[in-house]
A and B are shown apart, each in its own frame.
Chain A
Amino acid sequence: MNSQDVKNAISGALVVDKPVGMTSHDVVQVIRNGTGLRRAGHTGTLDPRASGVLVILVGPAVRLSEYVSASDKRYQAIIRLGGTTDTFDADGKFTPSTDPSNITEAQFEEALQTFVGEIEQTPPPYSAVKVQGRKAYEMARKGEEVDLEPRKITVHHLEVLEWTPPEVVIDVHCSSGTYVRSLANDLGKKLGCGAYLVGLRRTKSGRFTLRDSVPLRKLQEAFTAGNWYQYLIPAAEALGDWPAVELNPDEVEGVRHGHRVKAKDADTVNEKVRGVSTQGELVALMVKMVNEDGSIEWQPKKVFFTSD
Chain B
Amino acid sequence: MRHYHSLEEASLKNSWLTVGVFDGVHRGHRQIIQKLVHDAHANGSPAVVLTFHPHPASVLTGREIQCLTTPDERAEILGSLGVDVIITQRFTPDLSAVPAHEYMSRLKASLGLSRLLIGYDFALGKGREGNAPRLTEIGKGLGYSVEIIPAVSDESGVISSTAIRKLISTGNIAEASNLLGYPYPMGGLVMHGAGRGRQINFPTANIDYPAQKAIPTNGIYACWAVLGDERFMAATNIGFNPTFTPERTTPSLEAYLLDFDRDIYDQYLKVEFVARLRDEVRYNSVEALINQIHDDVNQTRAILSTHR
Using a CB–CB cutoff of 8 Å, the interface residues on chain A facing chain B are 1-2, 5, 8-9, 24-25, 28, 39-45, 57, 60, 62-63, 65-67, 69-71, 128-130, 133, 176-177, 256-258, 270, 272, 300, 302-307
Contacts and interface: CB of A to CB of B under 8 A. Distances in A.
13 contacts: A1-B6, A41-B267, A63-B76, A65-B268, A66-B268, A70-B228, A71-B230, A128-B261, A133-B201, A300-B80, A303-B81, A304-B1, A305-B82
Contact of A69 (B37, B73, B79, B229): B229
Interface residues of B, number: 38
B226 interface: yes
A307 B228 contact: no
Contact of A66 (B34, B83, B270): B270
A5 B6 CA distance: 9
Contacts of A128: 261, 263
Given A5-B6, A305-B82, A65 B261 contact: no
A44 B265 CA distance: 9
Contact of B187 (A40, A63, A129): A63
B84 interface: yes
Contacts of A1: 5-6
Nearest to A60: B72
A71 B81 contact: no
A256 B5 contact: no
Given A256-B37, A307-B2, A63 B229 contact: no
B289 interface: no
A118 B230 CA distance: 18
B84 A8 contact: no
Contacts of B109: none
A258 B76 CA distance: 12
Contacts of A39: 189
A45 B187 contact: no
B5 A45 contact: no
B62 to A, nearest CB: 19
Contacts of B261: 128-130
Chain B CB count within 10 A is highest, among A5, A272, A303, for A303
A28 B229 contact: no
A111 B227 CA distance: 35
Nearest to B188: A62
A67 B228 CA distance: 7
A192 B293 CA distance: 47
Contacts of A25: 265-266
B266 A24 contact: yes
Interface of B: 1-2, 5-6, 12, 34, 37, 46-47, 72-73, 76, 79-85, 90, 187, 189-190, 201, 226-230, 261-268, 270
Contacts of B190: 41
Nearest to A304: B1
A8 B187 contact: no
B268 A41 contact: yes
A63 B72 contact: yes
A306 B84 contact: yes
Contacts of A130: 201, 261
Contact of B267 (A43, A176, A177, A270): A43
Given A305-B79, A305-B82, A305-B84, A43 B228 contact: yes
B115 to A, nearest CB: 16
Given A130-B261, A257-B34, A307-B46, A65 B80 contact: no
Contacts of B201: 130, 133
A66 B226 contact: yes
A1 B4 CA distance: 11
Nearest to B231: A66
Chain A CB count within 10 A is highest, among B37, B72, B80, B190, for B80
B287 to A, nearest CB: 14
Contact of B80 (A70, A71, A302, A307): A302
Contacts of A45: 262-265, 267
A289 B83 CA distance: 25
A66 B85 contact: no
B5 A65 contact: no
Contacts of A272: 229
Contacts of A129: 261
B204 to A, nearest CB: 14
